[in-house]
Amino acid sequence: MAFSAPSLAQPKGATGCLVLADGTIVWGKGFGAVGHAVGEVCFNTAMTGYQEVLTDPSYAAQIVTFTFPHIGNVGTNDEDFESAVEGAVGCVVREKITRNSNFRSTREFEVWMKDHGKIGLSGVDTRALTRRIRMQGAPNAVIAHAPDGKFDLDALVQRAQEWPGLEGMDLAQKVTRHKHHDWEGGSWKLGQGYAGSPRDARPHVVAIDYGSKDNIFRNLVAAGARVTVVPAKTGLDEVLALKPDGVFLSNGPGDPAATGEYAVPVIKALLDMDMPIFGICLGHQMLALAAGGKTLKMHQGHRGANHPVQRVGEGWGETAGLVEITSMNHGFAVDAASLPAGVVETHRSLFDGSNCGIAISGKRAFGVQYHPEASPGPQDSFYLFEKFVGMLGRGAS
C-alpha cells in the first residue's frame, strides 16, 4: 500500500484505491466487484467471521478495514449470512486473498464479493490505516476497483467530499424488511444446519427490524420464543394487532437520532403500557432515546469480537462486576450522562467507559449496546435472551 496525494504517481500494478475526503489516496490491488462505492471507513478487530461482518446490515454505507491480516482463507458458504439485505459496501485487507481452505466453503471469497457487489482492496498497510482512524476519526471515502488501473481521482475525491456522512442519516428504512413475516429457523449445529422454530404454546415476540442480524431471531427462538418480524416504520396499532407478549428492537445502521424520529413515539407508547422490551445495538439506542436519554457520534466506534463489558449497578447479586467478552459494531453510543432518573446503567465498556446497557426502573425494558447473539464469549451473553423471554407474560417487578 502507498499513501499519497492525488498529484503523486500511481504505483505500478495498482488496480484499486481508497480515496479519502481529505485527498489522501491509499493504493492497492482491487478484487471483488468492479466500480466504486462511497462510505465511512471503519476498522474491525475480529480474527474470524468476515462473511458475517460484511453481511451485517449495521455496516450499511461503511467500508470495513480488517485488522487481522489473513481474510478470505476459509472462503464463504450459504449458511453464514447475517442478512440478505445490503451490508458493508466493501473492505480493505492486508494480504492478497488466498485460495479457500475449509470444508464448509462453497465459494471463493473474491467470487463471493463480486457476486454480491462488494468492492475489495488488498495489499494495504491496515495497521497504518487503523492508526489514522484511531487518531483522526472515521473518514468518509470512496473505494474503487478498476482492472485496467484507470481512475478519475479528482472525481473520486469530489464524491468522497460531497458524501454527507452517517451523522443525521436514517439508514434503517434502506435495510429493513418491507413486510411482516413469521420467522422460521433456530440455532445452527455442525452437520445439521439450522434447527426448526416451533411456534405452538410459545410466548410471541414482535421484532421491529431496523436492519437486524438473522442470528438474533435464531437466539430468541433458542430461548423459547416465536418471532414475527415487522418493518422499521411499523406503527403502534399494527404492532399491537399482532398481539405480542413482548417487543424486540433490533440493531441497524445510521444515526439513532434520525431513526428515532419515527421509532421513538412507538417505543414510548409501548413503555407506557408496560410492554416487555429488549433492544440490541441501535435498538438499545432507540430505547434510551424513548426513555429521555441522548446519543452521540463516537470518534472511531467499537467494532470487533473482543470487547470487555462489565456488569455495573445494583441487582446483579453474585455476578456483580462480572466481565463479558462481547462482539460490537457501532459508531454511535448512548450518552450515559444524559440518562434521566429511573434509567439505570447496567453495562459499561472497559475499553473507554462508554455505556453498554440500560434498564428502566419499574418497567420490563432493557437494552445492550453489544451483540449477545454473536457468540464471542462464546456464550457469555446468551442469558439476555433468556431474561427477556422469561419476562414475557409476567407483570413488572
Q: For residues 333 and 256, what is the distance between their CA atoms, to the nearest angstrom?
A: 9
Would you say residue 338 has pLDDT above 90? yes
Q: Which three cell numbers stand for residue 292?
A: 429521555
Q: For residues 44 and 61, what is the distance between their CA atoms, to the nearest angstrom?
A: 15
pLDDT single digits (tens) 187-212: 777 777 777 777 678 999 999 999 99
**What does DSSP say about strands 294-311 and 323-335: parallel, antiparallel, or unpaired?**
antiparallel
* In contact, 159 and 168? CB cutoff 8 Å: no
pLDDT single digits (tens) 248-270: 999 999 999 999 999 999 999 99
CA 48 centroid distance within chain:
15
219 HSE (CA, 13 A, CB side): 24
Closest CA to 251 of 303, 317, 188: 303
Residue partners of 73: CB distance under 8 A and separation at least 6: 98, 99, 100, 101, 102
Instruction: Give the chain's radius of gyration (CA, Å).
Output: 21
Closest CA to 51 of 83, 73, 76, 69: 76
Prediction pTM value: 0.95
Classify domain 2-162 by CATH number.
3.50.30.20
82 HSE (CA, 13 A, CB side): 26
pLDDT single digits (tens) 45-91: 999 999 999 999 999 999 999 999 999 999 999 988 899 888 999 99
Q: Would you please indicate which residues are annotated as catalytic (active-site) residues?
A: 281, 371, 373
Handedness of CA 310, 248, 266, 58 (dihedral sign): positive
How crowded is residue 194: how many other Cβ atoms within 10 Å of its Cβ? 16
Helix or strand (DSSP H, E) at 120: strand 119-122
pLDDT single digits (tens) 265-312: 999 999 999 999 999 999 999 999 999 999 999 999 999 999 999 999
How crowded is residue 313: how many other Cβ atoms within 10 Å of its Cβ? 14
- CATH of 172-391, picked from 3.40.190.80, 2.60.40.10, 3.40.50.880, 3.40.1160.10, is 3.40.50.880
Q: What is the mean pLDDT of the chain?
A: 93
Q: Where are the domains of the chain?
A: 2-162, 172-391
